[in-house]
Amino acid sequence: MAIKLPTIGDWFTHPAGDLFEVVAVDEDDATIEIQYFDGTIEELDVDSWGELKCRDAVPPEDYSGSMDIEREDYGLEIETPRQKSPADPMDFLDLAE
C-alpha cells in the first residue's frame, strides 16, 4: 500500500505531543522535511513518515513563532509599498515643480 505524502504547510501533532509543520517534500529522494515549532528541523524518509502515526493539527495562532521562515516563503511581498497620505508632507516632497 502506498503511503500518502503530506502537503507542504500542513501541521501535525507528533505522538509525543510536539507540534510540527511539513516544510519540504522530495518525491525523488522519498524524504519529508518537518520543522517543529521550536525551530528544530528533521528529515524523514517515507517509511518513517508512515510509521510516525502523527495526527492532523490546527496551526498555532502565531505560526511563525520561532520558525525559521521569511515573509517570501509564504508568498508575501518582502516590503509593503507605502500609501501616499496627504497627512505626510514628505510623500509629496519630490513632486514639487
Q: Domain for residue 55, yes or no?
A: yes
Full strand arrangement of the beta sheet holding 41-45: 41-45, 31-36, 19-26, 11-13, 55-56
Q: Domain for residue 76, yes or no?
A: no
* Per-residue pLDDT tens over the stretch 1-25: 567 789 999 999 988 888 999 999 9
- How many domains does the structure of the chain reveal? 1
User: What is the C-alpha to C-alpha distance for residues 89 and 93, in angstroms, rounded to an integer?
Assistant: 7
Q: Domain for residue 17, yes or no?
A: yes
Q: Domain for residue 64, yes or no?
A: yes
Q: Domain for residue 40, yes or no?
A: yes
Q: Domain for residue 24, yes or no?
A: yes
Q: Domain for residue 96, yes or no?
A: no
pTM: 0.60
pLDDT recorded at residue 58 = 87
Q: Cα 65 to chain center, whole Å? A: 10
User: What is the C-alpha to C-alpha distance for residues 19 and 36, in angstroms, rounded to an integer?
Assistant: 6
The vertex-49 CA angle with 23 and 44, nearest 5°, equals 60
The residue ranking higher by pLDDT, 90 or 23, is 23
- At residue 38 the predicted structure's pLDDT band, cuts being 50, 70 and 90, is confident
**Which of helix, strand or coil describes residue 14?**
coil
Q: What domain range includes position 16?
A: 11-69
